[in-house]
Amino acid sequence: MNPRAKSVVYQGNFQLLVTFANDEVKKLDLKEYLKFPIYEPLREEAFCKTVRAVDGVLQWDDFIDLDPDTAYLESTPVELVSK
């Protein structure tokens, strides 16, 4: 079992910046998911921006969510620059 999503920020261009419970920050590209009928509403950017982390799951509404294991495995690590 992989870490659960702790927070998520929509970055634009169907990209999410996800912070996981182990404090890893990763970028998730949603473009590949948009071809599946369940994720079709995410093509509307205003709706896509409503993403939130709920009990470790990336969720848009009561019908559309993304499994945290998939989100973790399909995302790429982000190097955070400290000032």
pLDDT tens track of the chain, all 83 residues? 789 999 999 999 999 999 999 999 999 999 999 999 999 999 999 999 999 999 999 999 989 999 999 999 999 999 876 66
Q: Residue 44 in contact with residue 50, Cβ under 8 Å?
A: no
Tell me the two tokens of residue 3: 């870490």
In the chain, the number of structural domains is 1
Give the pLDDT confidence score for residue 23 in this predicted structure: 94
Which CATH number fits the domain that encloses residue 36?
3.30.2020.10
In a domain, 82, yes or no: no
Give the pLDDT confidence score for residue 82 in this predicted structure: 65
The parent domain of residue 55 ranges over 5-77
In a domain, 10, yes or no: yes
Give the pLDDT confidence score for residue 1 in this predicted structure: 76
Tell me the two tokens of residue 58: 């990336």
Distance CA 63, CA 75 (A): 22
* 3-state secondary structure at position 22: coil
Give the pLDDT confidence score for residue 73 in this predicted structure: 96
In a domain, 69, yes or no: yes
Residue 1: exposure state from Cβ atoms within 10 A (0-12, 13-18, ≥19): exposed
